[in-house]
Structures are given as structure tokens and as C-alpha cells.
Amino acid sequence: MEINLISGALGAEISGIDLKDTSEKNWKIINDLLLEHKVLFFRNQNITAEQQINFAKNFGPLEKHVYVKGREEFPEIIRIIKKPDEKHQWGENWHTDVSYNPKPTKVIILRSIKIPPVGGDTMFSNMELAYETLDSELKEKIKDKKAIHSSLGAAAFVEAYKGMEGNGNIDEYSNSHPIVRTHPETGKKILYVNSMYTKRIEGLDENESDEILKKLYTHQERLDLTCRFKWTENAVAIWDNRSTQHQGLSDFFPGRGLGHERVMDRVAIEGDQPI
């Protein structure tokens, strides 16, 4: 096994591990690496949909998306599609997946099916490091505070994307989570807000809430907290959704990535209620 760090903040590209091996021993190695590096990248993993699902089950029960229909033959898999003529793609702003759920996603396993020749990289940011590097004044302001996360409704997930299909649910809903959550496996503190789904801080007036959240979002997006992954076909990314944020870059400029389809298969594992 070879481990190559992607950046000083988080992320490692792993070679010498076969994701077809769903043994507990292999999963334990990967989970230990995941807790250390937050996001792992594996290239040349020619795995099937069934193998992706079987590997994911090591982490826990699989999660179905509240708004998006899964693949017909594999409902646990969401196929994320950017059509050739589209300039935008799913998840193009900084976010933590489904932070609006009562129990947000634990781990995401994303497999590349088809990628453009350039464009569409994915960036990740370390939210444990974001909390560690937050100034003491802001830490004090958010201590023991909770924030409301909104699902935005089905339109945000399907209407703007030609290749995405809804499952019939359209209702918008919200849940409250601690702004600083504790990782259930490592005990580390995590800055748990994101600019896509977090709407307000409970117990504060709108202006103060907006001011604090704006400062937190700016801090979370600092480049020294991030890493960037350039996709190749048959690559797999596995990330700890509890302690990271991510965004898919929509840099499909004319004559480059634009005019090419981007297809990814996503499997999510159910998480726990943040505390």
C-alpha cells in the first residue's frame, strides 16, 4: 500500500488497495485512513455497481436521498449527471451533504463513470481544522449554539439539472444541529455549518446571525484548509461527511469541459444525530 498526501490540510491518494475486497480487515484499514485523512482517493478501481454497494455496507446502513430517485436497478445509487450542454453540475457550492437531515450522512462513496477532458474537479475542506484555527472570539460566540439547516426543497436538486430525476417528494424541511459537533469516532470538534443549507443561528437576531455565519463561511473556505482532486475514469473518492465540506467545480468553459458529459455514481451511508 502506498499513501500520497494531496495537501497539508486533508486528503490522501491510496494505491495498493482493491475496493472489491469487502473483508472486515480491508475495511478497517480504509476506515482508519479515512479518520486520519478525512477523504481518500483511489484510481483504477474497475468495480461494478454491486461491488460499490457491498463495499459501502461495511460503513453501515445505506441511505436513500430524500428528493432524488436512485438508479432503477440499484436504488441505493444516485447517478449524478451533467449533460454535455450544461454549464452547471450538482453540488457546485460548498456544502456538507444533507446536513438538513435529522441524522446527516456519515460517509459518501463517489465513483466516476464518465468525466470531461478538463473541468469538474472536486474540492474538500477540513472542518476539524476549521474549528481548530477559528479565532477565540468567534469560538466563544458560537459556543453551545445551534443552527437551522434547510433542505431547500426538491427544485434545488432536480429542476436545474436535465439528467437528475426526482422521487416525488417536494416538501422543504429543516432541522437544528450544534454549530460545533463532536466526531463520534475520534472525539474531535467540528465546525458544522455550511453556506448551502445553514440558514440561521438559533437564539440570535437575524443581523447578528447573518454576520457570524458570514464570518464562519469565509473561514471555512480558506484555501489552506482544502485539497483538490482531479478525476479520472474508474476513480473512487470516499469522504467523511461529518468532518468535511466539498464542492464540485463547474469550470466547464467553452472548448474545454463544456460539450462533454460528466457521470458519477454516489452511495451514501446513514449517519448519526450530531451532538
Q: Assign domain 2-269 one CATH number from 3.20.80.10, 3.10.580.10, 1.10.150.120, 3.60.130.10.
A: 3.60.130.10
Residue 135 corresponds to which cell in the numbers above?
479565532
Beta bridge partners of 108: 239, 268
Residue 218 corresponds to which cell in the numbers above?
469565509
The answer for residues whose C-beta is within 8 angstroms of residue 211's C-beta and 6 or more apart is: none
Q: 172, 229 in Cβ contact below 8 A?
A: no
Q: 69, 79 in Cβ contact below 8 A?
A: no
What is the rounded CA–CA span in Å between residue 190 and residue 194? Answer: 12
Tens of pLDDT along the chain (275 residues) come to 999 999 999 999 999 999 999 999 999 999 999 999 999 999 999 999 999 999 999 999 999 999 999 999 999 999 999 999 999 999 999 999 999 999 999 999 999 999 999 999 999 999 999 999 999 999 999 999 999 999 999 988 998 899 999 999 999 999 999 999 999 999 999 999 999 999 999 999 999 999 999 999 999 999 999 999 999 999 999 999 999 999 999 999 988 989 999 999 999 999 999 99
Residues in the chain: 275
- Please name the helix (run of DSSP H) or strand (run of DSSP E) that holds residue 215, with its range, or none: helix 206-220
Which residue matches cell numbers 422543504?
172
Whole-model pTM: value is 0.96
